[in-house]
Structure 1
């Protein structure tokens, strides 16, 4: 059985839980709790788990006894002394209310062809689940899942090397760092070309990340573990004062979250020159400041169009970026490859130089957006779509590349446009105003996903109030009010 078939079998189990009101994202989180126990057994690492909570003990239980045992297991493993167990199970709780459903999932996991899964790679199996989750519900998991073909293209061009410190300040499920590890392994015969000391560095220090969302961090920890990566993966906020200590990286690759900081307040960073509530502009500031100023440290970051043209502080940050770094390439990405149809994004490639002034001389732009097909579930983005861009990016002499999508702008030309980087798009040849409208089926699926998310949040409010002995207490009402506010935010989107 291939990993793809195993992923499909695991995914089909989600149908069992639909009657329990469980979303796809909650299902993947629930699977993570169970798969962790099973994989610890399969990889011979069960010794870190208390004997009474190991996989074989879970399989023996059934009915109400199983449900109560599982809930206690999640609670106790979240308080375990082992750091890895804490990262996976802290604040873990089950969404499964029907014991028979829990029983069926555990039995189905136990019956899978784990020999084949181990042969193909447990990490690839888990990544397959994450990818499936992102593609099924774009309004949910898609917001932190960057398409693998885009990640692989970025990693190929940034070309991380053995001995370099690679980092993702908005790690999501750790996809960029997983791909960076895979890239370096492919260039070093799976690390066999490296010394024992260098292998130790690659496994324990080369790859790190920070993730703000607890559930996403949990998935990232599991993903890293199954790929034999043990670098620092912190649950925290890069844009808080904590982020001030994240410095001196050789490589940064990331797709930071879109939007503004909640409440519109500005970040609490004392090291930022420019103050704004715009998350992407703050992440951009953080990234170019976190690179080593040695002329070799480099970054690739996915950012929405507004970062390229926003005035005021946005202009100042772009100017500072082009002074401190060589912003050599911008890739204008197609629409429809992320969870929201209308979001237009770009990849900025830059190198942090040794000085802080006048380092960008020319910016090359590749337009992979205009006159491109509409991408979605039925027309996925593939590696082949990036072939011509990769060819242009890697060309020894970029001026000799013959491609209408590939254009260059001097620093002086950009200055005349008030330092706006919203440039490089070619003439749109669309003959019909309807050609680039979003797929109506995908739009409907997205709307359904958001409504399901809102219904789940409201059900949580009702359940929370019912469980309280005095539903009118401050704790109940304030918590419920927050959830109602969260629901309103989902519906507004």
Structure 2
């Protein structure tokens, strides 16, 4: 978590953009991300230089090759495009190098046909003056970005400032909620992971961090390493700016060539079917879409225009048999009475394996929205398999449930993970407990209602009250005492 002086340093960068005339938070994040990305490219090149020097070899596939780029006006050497070089130039020259040379080079960077190349094709440098660029570069230079975890915390803190999130049903997912979902699904080195509403790639970043921590064997196996840096991670977003930010965010976290595409996952030609082994997502709750914009394949499964239902259908279709998913849904998905709501719930319970329903507190996504939400965990089987469904009622997530969302001690999330990982003990839990199992047949008998309150039992504590006559007798006695006191007071005053 970013606190103290580090927080103040990041805030100064943000404030510099606002005072310099860039007030759109998405644009601020995008420009900061470009600069951090450029800095990261220089770090990668420096690392390659040191390795080549140590072994007396040439740099293999250098980021910044020797010589000049003939396609750039003014014939600047590639060396001048490095962060460590142009940040030492005078403000006017640095501004000219970044705007006229670095950004045209960025737009052409990446393997031809790669998702990175497609995302960066429209990269724009919008910092308006040399003075602002110099100030931002100096401020970024003061922030310690060498440690990968610190870098991730800083970037996460900046993403929190996306105050426009929440429009079109999109809003940022808190990092601790993402972490819970990733820890529960335990990504594996052979997984193919997708987020069909990727945003800034929070779920994919958390998954790659989990794999780094839990599976160090990836780095000693060439095939596993190539899978990690290539086909393991896929994300789609309909917003071009988000796709660019997600693409650069993944590279900033050390994933070299993920597939991050600008695409509407719910439209015709949606991403690969039966292709992935893990879905991690918080899809937008944007209400209803036009029939013309929704894939006919999805409409055949469930006739609806509700995005939250369509995304669930899409996720099932994306997964291979045996693939698993952790997805955030609005609570209405759990008990909605429309035919489409019931059909989707029936599909998860009867056709596949619904593993868990985790009810989140209603303030989890404040300040963006007060909508009540839940996490669904399921496994695609295409042949049923739901015997019991595990329910958990999260009452505290370690943060206040108001708009400020400040840290507090009360936190059920560690208990959620611990109980999930010890399912055998959950079968004996009572319906009055915070977590419990519900047999599939009971869910079927209740019309596939998945709301926790449908199955939770409220424990009513018996309180033995005194009889009315006893209370009246006590009042009479008090009245006598009061009258006696008043009488003695009058006698004293006479």
**Alignment TM-score, normalising by the size of structure 1:** 0.75
1:226-279 CA distance string (max 9 Å, x none): 222233222212112232524332211111111135557551242541132211
User: Is 1:90–2:121 an aligned residue pair?
Assistant: yes
Which residue in 2 is equivalent to 1:334?
Answer: 361
Q: Offset of 1:303 from its aligned partner?
A: 0.7
User: In structure 2, do the counterparts of structure 1 residues 11 and 218 end up closer, same or farther at CA, with 3 Å as the change threshold?
Assistant: farther
Give, in whole Å, the separation in 1 of the partners of 2:89 and 2:30.
21
Contact (CA 8 Å) 1:11, 1:129: kept in 2 or not? no
User: Is 1:10–2:10 an aligned residue pair?
Assistant: yes
Q: Offset of 1:378 from its aligned partner?
A: 4.6
Which residue in 1 is equivalent to 2:433?
Answer: 404
Give, in whole Å, the separation in 2 of the partners of 1:262 and 1:324.
26
Q: Offset of 1:392 from its aligned partner?
A: 2.4
Which residue in 1 is equivalent to 2:244?
Answer: 218
Contact (CA 8 Å) 2:285, 2:330: kept in 1 or not? yes
Match among 336, 342, 366 for residue 392 of structure 2: 366
What do you get for the CA RMSD once the two structures are aligned?
Answer: 3.3
Contact (CA 8 Å) 2:397, 2:411: kept in 1 or not? no
Which residue in 1 is equivalent to 2:419?
Answer: 392
Q: Offset of 1:221 from its aligned partner?
A: 1.1
User: Is 1:24–2:25 an aligned residue pair?
Assistant: yes
Contact (CA 8 Å) 1:28, 1:129: kept in 2 or not? no
Which residue in 1 is equivalent to 2:327?
Answer: 301
1:260-307 CA distance string (max 9 Å, x none): 3555755124254113221111110011122112xx321111111121
User: In structure 2, do the counterparts of structure 1 residues 63 and 178 end up closer, same or farther at CA, with 3 Å as the change threshold?
Assistant: closer
User: In structure 2, do the counterparts of structure 1 residues 361 and 266 end up closer, same or farther at CA, with 3 Å as the change threshold?
Assistant: farther
1:449-481 CA distance string (max 9 Å, x none): xxxxxxxxxxxxxxxxxxxxxxxxxxxxxxxxx
Partner SS, residue 220 of structure 1: helix
Which residue in 1 is equivalent to 2:372?
Answer: 344
Partner SS, residue 360 of structure 1: coil
Match among 265, 280, 299 for residue 308 of structure 2: 280
Partner SS, residue 401 of structure 2: coil
Which residue in 2 is equivalent to 1:292?
Answer: 320
Q: Which runs of 5+ in 1 are unaligned?
A: 430-493
Larger relative contact order (CA 8 Å, sep ≥ 6): 1
User: In structure 2, do the counterparts of structure 1 residues 163 and 383 end up closer, same or farther at CA, with 3 Å as the change threshold?
Assistant: farther
Q: Offset of 1:411 from its aligned partner?
A: 2.8
Superposition pairs of residues 226-241 of structure 1, within 5 angstroms: 226-229=252-255, 230-241=257-268
Give, in whole Å, the separation in 1 of the partners of 2:151 and 2:405.
23
User: In structure 2, do the counterparts of structure 1 residues 220 and 79 end up closer, same or farther at CA, with 3 Å as the change threshold?
Assistant: closer
Q: Which moved more, 1:344-353 or 1:154-163?
A: 154-163
Give, in whole Å, the separation in 1 of the partners of 2:437 and 2:184.
18
1:33-71 CA distance string (max 9 Å, x none): 112222211221794455154335643555566555544
| Rg larger for | 2
Which residue in 2 is equivalent to 1:100?
Answer: 131
User: In structure 2, do the counterparts of structure 1 residues 244 and 36 end up closer, same or farther at CA, with 3 Å as the change threshold?
Assistant: closer
User: In structure 2, do the counterparts of structure 1 residues 351 and 378 end up closer, same or farther at CA, with 3 Å as the change threshold?
Assistant: closer
Q: Which moved more, 1:21-30 or 1:134-143?
A: 134-143
User: In structure 2, do the counterparts of structure 1 residues 41 and 4 end up closer, same or farther at CA, with 3 Å as the change threshold?
Assistant: farther
Which residue in 2 is equivalent to 1:40?
Answer: 41
Q: Offset of 1:416 from its aligned partner?
A: 3.3
Give, in whole Å, the separation in 1 of the partners of 2:103 and 2:188.
41
Q: Which moved more, 1:361-370 or 1:87-96?
A: 87-96
Contact (CA 8 Å) 1:367, 1:424: kept in 2 or not? no
1:409-433 CA distance string (max 9 Å, x none): 333332333322223375899xxxx
Q: Offset of 1:384 from its aligned partner?
A: 4.1
Give, in whole Å, the separation in 1 of the partners of 2:410 and 2:174.
10
Which residue in 1 is equivalent to 2:490?
Answer: none
User: In structure 2, do the counterparts of structure 1 residues 218 and 125 end up closer, same or farther at CA, with 3 Å as the change threshold?
Assistant: farther
Q: Offset of 1:408 from its aligned partner?
A: 3.0
User: Is 1:109–2:137 an aligned residue pair?
Assistant: no
Q: Which runs of 5+ in 2 are unaligned?
A: 49-61, 70-77, 460-494
Give, in whole Å, the separation in 1 of the partners of 2:4 and 2:252.
17
User: In structure 2, do the counterparts of structure 1 residues 274 and 21 end up closer, same or farther at CA, with 3 Å as the change threshold?
Assistant: same
Give, in whole Å, the separation in 2 of the partners of 1:152 and 1:371.
12
Which residue in 2 is equivalent to 1:481?
Answer: none
User: Is 1:207–2:236 an aligned residue pair?
Assistant: no
Q: Offset of 1:189 from its aligned partner?
A: 3.0
Give, in whole Å, the separation in 2 of the partners of 1:370 and 1:64.
52
User: In structure 2, do the counterparts of structure 1 residues 390 and 383 end up closer, same or farther at CA, with 3 Å as the change threshold?
Assistant: farther
Give, in whole Å, the separation in 2 of the partners of 1:236 and 1:365.
34
Q: Which moved more, 1:269-278 or 1:27-36?
A: 269-278
Give, in whole Å, the separation in 2 of the partners of 1:336 and 1:302.
14
Contact (CA 8 Å) 2:196, 2:281: kept in 1 or not? yes
User: In structure 2, do the counterparts of structure 1 residues 140 and 258 end up closer, same or farther at CA, with 3 Å as the change threshold?
Assistant: same
1:191-226 CA distance string (max 9 Å, x none): 35x532222222322222222221221121112112
Contact (CA 8 Å) 2:184, 2:417: kept in 1 or not? yes
Contact (CA 8 Å) 2:33, 2:249: kept in 1 or not? no
**Higher helix fraction: Structure 1 or Structure 2?**
1
Which residue in 2 is equivalent to 1:446?
Answer: none
Aligned length: 417
**Alignment TM-score, normalising by the size of structure 2:** 0.74
Which residue in 2 is equivalent to 1:128?
Answer: 153
Match among 140, 149, 153 for residue 176 of structure 2: 149
Which residue in 2 is equivalent to 1:424?
Answer: 453
Partner SS, residue 275 of structure 2: coil
Give, in whole Å, the separation in 2 of the partners of 1:262 and 1:62.
51
Give, in whole Å, the separation in 2 of the partners of 1:59 and 1:364.
55
